[in-house]
Amino acid sequence: MNHIVLLGDSIFDNASYVEGGPDVRAQLQQRLSKEWKVTLLAVDGSTTQDFHFQLPRLPSDTSHIIISSGGNDALEYMNFLYEGAKSVADVLDRLAGIAERFEKKYHQMLVNVLSLGLPTAVCTIYYPRFPDPMLQRIAVTALTVFNDCIISEAFATGIPLLDLRLICNEDRHYANPIEPSVAGGAKIVEAIAKLLLEHDFNNRRTQVFI
């Protein structure tokens, strides 16, 4: 039996946001055949630095790992969006510093996971759905530096990528501005199922799934 484990944050651990509806883990278990077992180790609120709590809990028969991480790292920098700046160059320089710090954390997290030698895939950070149009616009722009790090790491290591920006692309896919709804979870699950059925992990070649 194949055993897929979901690591990361509330993109997978979304049960408390779907008002009794099926969470991502339950939807994925229902979507896959009986030859698959799905375990949720992702924890709402986790950052890339919290994987040292999740990895030791991996079941011994884990066959595949899917990671969604980085969104909460980005949220830690929300105050940056409201800070003043002397120039555009000053803003870009500070964004570069944020990107460098995140890249180091994400890279180390991925190194630790890939050292297990298991088929692994990662997710980009999807765009939020903030009701304030200006906040939405600048948040989407700021997220590019985080997603660039994730995409670069996926291609550098030859692992598949789930682009949540294109998967959860409608308001109904969100239970609130930053959490997936039942409909959003269903879209994520379909992308995961497609990845598991189509991707050859032995090729060490990055494919993007939407």
Write the single-letter amino acid at 24.
V
Mean pLDDT of 199-203: 90
How many structural domains is the chain composed of?
1
CB atoms within 10 A of CB 85: 12
187, 168 Cβ separation under 8 angstroms: yes
CA distance 149 to 95: 12
Q: Percent of the chain beyond pLDDT 90?
A: 78
| Lookup result for tokens 């598991």 | 196
What pLDDT, on a 0 to 100 scale, did the predictor assign at position 78?
Answer: 76
The per-residue pLDDT for range 72-130, each reduced to its tens digit, is: 999 888 777 666 767 888 878 888 888 999 999 999 999 999 999 999 999 999 999 99
What pLDDT, on a 0 to 100 scale, did the predictor assign at position 89?
Answer: 87
User: Of 172, 67, 161, which is closest to residue 129 (Cα–Cα)?
Assistant: 172
Give the CATH number, domain containing residue 45: 3.40.50.1110
Q: Percent of the chain beyond pLDDT 70?
A: 98
Distances (CA, A) of 120 to 48, 66, 137, 204: 15, 6, 32, 10
Q: Give the lowest-confidence range in 51-65, 74-88, 157-171.
A: 74-88
Backbone φ/ψ region at 45: left (φ over 0), alpha (ψ -120 to 50), beta:
left
- Identify the domain containing residue 186 by its residue range: 2-209
Look up the pTM and report it: 0.92
With cut-offs at 50, 70 and 90, classify the pLDDT of residue 34.
confident
The residue count of the chain comes to 210
